[in-house]
Amino acid sequence: MIIVTTAGITPEALDRIIEHVEAAGLRTHVSRGEQRTIVGCIGDEGALSEHGLTQLDGVERVMPVLKPYKIASREFSVGNTAIRLGDPADTVIGGRDVVVMAGPCSVEGREMMFDTARAVQQAGARLLRGGAFKPRSSPYAFQGMGEDGLKILADVRAETGMPIVTEVMDPRQVELVASYADVMQIGARNMQNFPLLSEVGKVQRPVLLKRGLSGTITELLMAAEYVLAQGNGDVMLCERGIRTYETATRNTMDVAAIPVLKRETHLPVIVDPSHAGGRAHLVTPLALAAVAAGADGLIVEVHPDPKCAKSDGEQSLEFSAFTQLMQQVQAVARAIGRECTWPSEVS
């Protein structure tokens, strides 16, 4: 930690700052510039109340030197984390292939899930998404089918072989959701729901952690750290658009978060172009942008009849549009030296 003192600090005030730091067990290193004296603090920053320091006389600013995340950082792990899914476990997230997850916002019924699963699998999706527990801003809106929805998802997996990604919102439901899902999704509104993060950290199921509407990249990594610190190392980070002043789109997709995250962490980075744009015609351009910028995967909303969807109809793709998206995703992935393959394509 570095302490910048005020101009013309008295020797007494400087002594008290040094005393305060050393009392916490750190060493100090004083550097006198032409206009400011700087106090470097050497040792365990955690032992010091960084924020309290600013209340000492003569302290102008306190600047931390180290990044707050540890297990999530590149310094912790040199190679990339790759997450294997499916039975056989031939879907790898965080490898050379760009992996696409697709399906409706909500599980609305058995037939629509089977139809959608078959369509997106045929088009190239490797995982099926679908919400059984839905976070809705209104208490009067459709809240999801609950465990009945999870059962439908499990039945679809049994038939198609597609691993399932579905949201968990409540620490009391982690065990239940983990018993059905292949990947547990933590929604944007729960990025800093720390009890929930700790709970999914205790279960051996991969986690798809979405960035909060106003979450910084550092906070997203700290949220992942909550999961990792509990022993669950299979965390994917998901950029899904942040909240800005612009209202032409539902959110603003922070495409730069992809290369920033790839540099800071070894965890896979997924992008959700559907929530980022919030309009169907934006989904494909945003998906392609994400792949071009280095995303390891996409999660896309697809619905048999978007105009009648119970949630997120505005941003859901029809089957045909999703098929076109996959063709273009594959082309862009190859253009940057990656791949996007699927079994039905091979046969």
Site residues for a copy of itself, 82-141, by CB under 8 A, read 135-141
**What is the maximal distance between C-alpha atoms in the chain?**
79
Task: Work out how close the CB of 50 gets to a copy of itself at its nearest, in angstroms, rounded to a whole number.
Answer: 8
**Of 85 and 290, which CB lies nearer to a copy of itself in the complex structure?**
290
What is the Cα–Cα distance from 135 to 277, expressed in whole angstroms?
19
Distance set, CA 147 to CA 165, 172, 272 (Å): 14, 13, 25
Residues 166-195 binding a copy of itself (CB under 8 A) are 169-172, 189-190, 192-195
In the region spanning residues 220 to 239, those forming contacts with a copy of itself, defined by CB under 8 A, are 222, 225-226, 229
- Minimum distance between the CB of residue 27 and a copy of itself, rounded to whole angstroms? 9
| Environment class of 138 (CB within 10 Å of its CB; exposed 0-12, middle 13-18, buried 19+) | exposed
Q: How far, in Å, CA of 284 to CA of 281, rounded?
A: 7
What CA–CA distance (Å, rounded) separates 302 from 309?
10
Distance CA 328, CA 334 (A): 10
The nearer residue to a copy of itself, 159 or 243, going by C-beta atoms, is 243
**Shortest distance in whole angstroms from residue 77 CB to a copy of itself:** 14
Which one among 335, 339, 343, 345 touches a copy of itself, defined by CB under 8 A? 335
**CB of 89: closest distance to a copy of itself in angstroms?**
29
- Binder among 109, 289, 304, 341 for a copy of itself (CB under 8 A): 289
The yes or no reply on residue 217 touching a copy of itself (CB under 8 A) is yes
77 scored as a contact of a copy of itself (CB under 8 A):
no
Least distance CB 85 / a copy of itself (angstroms): 26
The SS3 of residue 248 is coil
Candidates 83-91, 119-127, 156-164, 258-266 — which segment interacts with a copy of itself by CB under 8 A?
Answer: 258-266
- Candidate segments 83-91, 147-155, 326-334, 339-347, binder of a copy of itself by CB under 8 A: 326-334
Long-range contacts of 165-168 (CB under 8 A, 24+ apart): 165/101, 165/127, 165/128, 165/129, 165/208, 165/299, 166/107, 166/129, 166/130, 166/131, 166/132, 166/133, 167/131, 167/132, 167/133, 167/134, 167/135, 168/133, 168/196, 168/200
What is the distance between the alpha carbons of residues 239 and 168, in angstroms, rounded to a whole number? 18
How many residues bind a copy of itself (CB under 8 A)? The answer is 108
Report if residue 300 touches a copy of itself, rule: CB under 8 A. no
Instruction: State which residue, 29 or 154, has the beta carbon closest to a copy of itself.
Output: 29
The correct pick among 25, 175, 231, 279 for binding a copy of itself (CB under 8 A) is: 279
CB count in 10 Å sphere of residue 145? 22
Q: Is the CB of 121 or the CB of 185 nearer to a copy of itself?
A: 185
**Which of these ranges, 59-67, 81-89, 115-123, 145-153, lies near a copy of itself under the rule CB under 8 A?**
59-67
Residue 344 is which amino acid? Answer: S
- Which of these, 271, 236, 279, lies nearest to 254 by C-alpha position? 271
| 86, 260, 323, 338: which one binds a copy of itself (CB under 8 A) | 260
Whole-angstrom CA distances from 25 to 14, 54, 331 are: 17, 18, 57
Contact between 46 and a copy of itself by CB under 8 A: the answer reads yes
Interacting residue with a copy of itself among 218, 320, 343, 345 (CB under 8 A): 218
Instruction: Look up residue 80 and give its DSSP letter.
Output: P
3-state DSSP call for residue 100? strand
Nearer to a copy of itself, 166 or 190 (CB): 190
